[in-house]
Amino acid sequence: MSTMTAPFRQSRTMTVTRHLSIFGRVQGVGFRIYAGRKARELGVTGWIRNRLDGSVEAMVQGTPEAVDAMIAWARRGPRSAVVSEVRISEGSGEYRGFEMLPTE
């Protein structure tokens, strides 16, 4: 009697990482706090911070669907934000949790 083993299955879910630059009225409106809540809700990791030029910058990592949902949220932001543009590029790094970083 022979035994056959199941083919190797990759147990790790595919993740993507995107760098976001968010412009408009995005500071002083709770953008980072609400982004952190949304990231935790979606299971997205990474970081977010205000920029000295008035924009918000974020690195988001997760499943393609979760990252897409986070980007869709960033295009709207919280109710009091007015997002005029979101620039998206490839991101890098590995993250555990979602952090709020100091302004840079």
Catalytic center residues: 32, 50
CA dihedral 37, 43, 49, 53 (to 10 degrees): -90
Q: 48: part of which helix (H) or strand (E)? A: strand 45-50
What tokens appear for 22 in the block? 């968010």
